[in-house]
Amino acid sequence: MAALSEDIDDVVIREVAQDVWSISRPFTIWKFVPVGGHSVAIKLKSGHVWLFAWTPLTDLTRSKIAELGEVKYIIAPNPFHYYFLKSYRDAFPDALVIEVDVLNTKLAVAGWQLDAVITAEAPMTSFGFEDEIEHWPQESGHGLLS
């Protein structure tokens, strides 16, 4: 796994539509490759928060997400971009962490598992947010499109 640098500390959090928040944060890998991530937090009609997590979890990010409401769902971007997922799970332990089942194999090495998975056998499993957020597994089985 790539080493991340904490030398870039610009977090941009903005409401891009009613109850839809964009969280962007640049970071570097291997201390010299500038990249970045983009997370999305959506406040559902129930008042709960649905979170697509793919940025480092900073104090500012955690505070803003908590301000929106109780995080009920954390969605991993895909089985390749899950580096920050555990920090979100630790920060919001009551949330359901969801992704395609192949990610569980990788997480087992790190000593933890997803709370719920989408599988080829049950690609349209219902979790309770589907009336507000359309999602489906990619045909390749490599993540959720949201």
- Domains annotated for the chain, with CATH where assigned, are 4-145 (3.60.15.10)
pLDDT in the model for residue 2: 41
pLDDT in the model for residue 120: 65
> pLDDT tens track of the chain, all 146 residues?
344 444 445 888 999 999 999 999 877 777 778 777 889 999 999 999 999 988 889 899 999 999 999 999 998 766 666 778 889 999 999 999 887 666 667 676 677 767 776 666 666 677 888 888 876 554 444 444 44
Asked if 92 and 67 touch (Cβ cutoff 8 Å), the reply is no
Helix (H, G, I), strand (E, B) or coil at 64: helix
Secondary structure (DSSP) of 69-121: --EEEEE-S-SSS-TTHHHHHHHSTTSEEEEETHHHHHHHHHT---SEEE-SS
pLDDT in the model for residue 15: 95
